[in-house]
A = this chain, B = another copy of it.
Amino acid sequence: MSSYSSGESATSVATAVLRNEPVQARSTARLTSLLDAAAAVVDGIGFERLTTAMIADRAGSSIGTVYRYFPDRIAVLHALSGRSMTRFAAEGIPAIESPDRANWLEAVEAALQYWVGAFRSEPGFRALRFGDVLDLQPRAGDRTNNGVIAAALVSVLSSRHGLEANDELQFRVEVALELCDSLLARAFAFDRNGDARFTDEALTVARGYLIGAYGNPASDA
């Protein structure tokens, strides 16, 4: 009945949304350019105003090609958020696993810092908020993106820092991410570079929340 997962699921994300898997080289490039285009537009005008025509234009392709790969407009956004998440897992998690992290708190802080960086520089990242905003009528049991990231973090925290990987830890990490996410969204809502007051507070809050639950590992030394 345990709902947390243990590691590799973080990298195996929603590519199932595609209608056709690209086979030839040019088509994988096309797919990439479609997602890049969507990311760029979404950063500029927000996901609600993103039209399929805009994606096609900016990617230098036609509307039909968009629909060769994606079942509908929303699927593009889901794929984009999936790609961001995969990148986050592929690049961020190893950085967090670095032996430099003396304890779980440092690992978490590294993850959050990395996350803020993604808000700043990863196209489409801030506009989608990991895509959870799109899950307007989610079915119970659906995995949220934050849930998947949380699972990856949990696996690092348990395998390298001695925390027990159970539902409670998964829940708390998920909550911490949710908290951070909301403040970061606010931080970047008006300020393209992130209002420092809110980005700082996001890190402080998440930190405080987890320390409240698990104690401060630095002072246990």
| The residue from B134, B144, B182 contacting A178, defined by CB atoms under 8 A apart | B182
Residue of B nearest to A201 (CB): B175
Q: Which of B48, B135, B139, B171 contacts A197 (CB 8 A)?
A: B171
A138 contacts chain B at the CB level, 8 A cutoff: yes
Beyond A179-B205, A208-B209, A209-B208, whether A46 also contacts B186 by CB under 8 A is no
Chain B positions within 8 Å of A136 at CB level: 45-49, 127
State how many copies of this chain the complex holds: 2
Contact present for A46 and B179 (CB under 8 Å): no
Return chain B residues, CB-CB under 8 Å to A144. Answer: 186, 189
B135 and A133 within 8 A (CB): no
**Residues of B contacting A39 with CB < 8 Å?**
none
Q: Which of B179, B189, B201 contacts A183 (CB 8 A)?
A: B179
Cα(A45)–Cα(B179), bound, Å = 26
A140 lies within 8 A of chain B by Cβ:
yes
A182 partner residues in chain B, CB cutoff 8 A: 178-179, 181-182
> For the complex, is A212 an interface residue (Cβ under 8 Å from B)?
yes
Interface: A24 (CB within 8 A): no
CA distance A29 to B205 in the complex (A): 45
Minimum CB–CB distance for A42 against chain B, Å: 9
Interface residues of A (CB under 8 A from B): 45-49, 74, 127, 133-142, 144, 171, 175, 178-179, 181-183, 186, 189-191, 197-198, 201, 205, 208-209, 212
Q: 4 smallest A-B Cβ distances: which pairs? A: A46-B136, A182-B182, A140-B190, A46-B137
